[in-house]
Chain A
Amino acid sequence: MVRNNPFNWIFLILSSLVLLFILAPLAGMFLDTTSVEFMETVKDRDVQESIWLTLWVSFAATFLFALGAIPLAWLLARKQFPFKNIVQGIIDLPVVLPHTAAGIAILGFISRDGALGKAADTLGLTLINNPAGIALAMAFVSIPFLINSARDGFAAVPERLEKAALTLGASRSRVFFTISMPLAWRSIVTGFIMMFARGMSEFGAVVIVAYHPMIAPVLIYERFSSFGLKSARPASVLFIIVALAVFILLRFISLRKKETYLTPDAQAQ
């Protein structure tokens, strides 16, 4: 596979070092966790609840925000409008912000003095220390992954397929649901999974908005700061295993669909 020349060997060694850098700490953590510790953590109700909370809140946040993110992605892929670059910049903003700063911003927005907080208050709902607040914090930091991936997916759908559907009598919405969405499906699902995974692993923004109820990353931090590394390790291992299992399962279920072949758009005549 790798031919015997120095260039290939140097690249192979450098690549291996990077992979080792990712895998070694994880492997160390797994190896340092005894099966007894691990089984105790599995049975720990607080750990179970926090992992379950993390999973469903992140999924719900991704699902709800996808309803707006997918149309936005389509607009970015298909339409030209004033300040489009600025809109694209705004979308990428959460990726570059320090997540604690993002948490502070969200907190200001959902506290009783903030716009959304006030609105929720009138409905008798408190967003701080509530799964709804956690969902907002998760979505804030992870939504660029969905928008950008879906936008790339829509942009890769040849526009003439949408035009062809229009000439066959389809309405704009029918074209969207029968042509654009199915053909961009892989990218949308990839973005969905990335947003879900990113939301699930969020700590900085969530911890400011809601220390309780505890999502898994907050629980791991709390165990570490209160009881030390030995106590935090089994919870981390369990969370990683569950997250990986869900991640693999989602990818498997959603991408089982037949590969769709897209040909690039014909050059404008």
Chain B
Amino acid sequence: MSSSEEPLREHLRALARARGIAIDEPWLPAVELHLKRLLEAARVVEASELPVPELAPKFEP
């Protein structure tokens, strides 16, 4: 692990601990990879040009 990766992975472990999940050391790289993929997916969705509606229900008077 490089020195720049250490704080990120420690942050990841702390975040998981806050959710009640204990991540073993060997799992960290894969969890990090998958989380990065999901964050990248979120960026792709955010870049969509479709006008995103409000999720709250709307009732006509």
Instruction: Say whether A and B bind each other.
Output: no
Residues in chain B within 8 A of chain A (CB atoms): none
Residues in chain A within 8 A of chain B (CB atoms): none
